[in-house]
Amino acid sequence: MKNTLKTLTLILLSVLMFSLTQDKPTKVILFGDSITQAGVGPTGYITKMKETLEKQGIKEKYQLIGAGIGGNKVYDLFLRMEDDVLNQNPDVVVIYIGVNDVWHKSSHGTGTDADKFVGFYTAIIKKLQSKGIKVICCTPAVIGERNDNSNSQDGDLNHYSNLIRGIASKFDCPLVDLRKEFVAYNVKNNPQNKESGILTTDRVHLNETGNQMVADFILKAIVK
């Protein structure tokens, strides 16, 4: 009789633990720079992701947390990873960084050398994966929206996007290739070859159309 009660108790505990695990939403941290910081605004990409989840009737299955700080480069993410990411025990982390690592080379005389970019990015992924966290990588979208490769930093942006593609492949991380998608969209939808106003407000930061595009692609990677 005692053994039977003990067995039933263990079964009930297992069922209860399974139920609690099933009801727990997937915690997703969006880790990045000012684009992600603005992502929690009324028309930001994180807000739009939440709206889409609600429309699909699965809002309660995901907890989306924005962790973006303006001006951040990859080493800034590395330095604040413990406080802003690991301490929150996420299930998924989306890394969306790289614009400032390239852009600030000319705008501020700083930026991040390619070898250091790879080193810090790799260190972030290794740390997150060592904690059992799923990592999704994003390529930086645009610094200027001209569609004929005449934006002054297209070459560097393409190079750093290739670096991220290689890192994602090496560490088996899903890739959201925003660089590829934004370039293709501008080729199709920017016949006047404007510097901004198609998917961005100022060549870099997203307008509502750009936010929706980023939301759609990142959410697809998360839900998949």
Length of the chain: 224
Pairing of strands 62-68, 26-32: parallel
What is the rounded CA–CA span in Å between residue 46 and residue 44? 6
Domain ranges of the chain: 25-223
* pLDDT of 105 above 60: yes
pLDDT at residue 15, as a whole number: 46
SS3 135: strand
What is the rounded CA–CA span in Å between residue 125 and residue 134? 9
| 162: nearest Cα among 178, 139, 187 | 139
SS3 152: coil
pLDDT tens by residue, 130-156: 999 999 999 999 999 999 999 999 999
pLDDT at residue 109, as a whole number: 80
| 193: nearest Cα among 145, 153, 155 | 145
pLDDT tens by residue, 2-56: 556 565 555 655 545 544 445 799 999 999 999 999 999 999 999 999 999 999 9
pLDDT at residue 194, as a whole number: 97
* pLDDT of 108 above 80: no
In this structure, what DSSP letter does residue 67 have? E
Per-residue pLDDT, averaged over 178-196, amounts to 97
pLDDT at residue 1, as a whole number: 54
Residue listed under structure tokens 């106003």? 197
- Phi, psi at residue 89, to the nearest 5°? 50, 60
Per-residue pLDDT, averaged over 210-224, amounts to 97
- Give the other-Cβ count within 10 Å of 103's Cβ: 22
User: Across all residues in the chain, what is the average pLDDT?
Assistant: 93
> CB-hemisphere CA count at 13 Å for 51?
14
pLDDT tens by residue, 82-97: 999 999 999 999 999 9
| 34: nearest Cα among 133, 140, 105 | 140
* pLDDT of 180 above 70: yes
pLDDT at residue 4, as a whole number: 60
Q: Does the reported pTM lie above 0.85?
A: yes
- What is the CATH topology of the domain spanning 25-223? Rossmann fold (3.40.50)
Structure tokens at 124: 């972030």
pLDDT at residue 192, as a whole number: 97
What is the rounded CA–CA span in Å between residue 220 and residue 181? 14
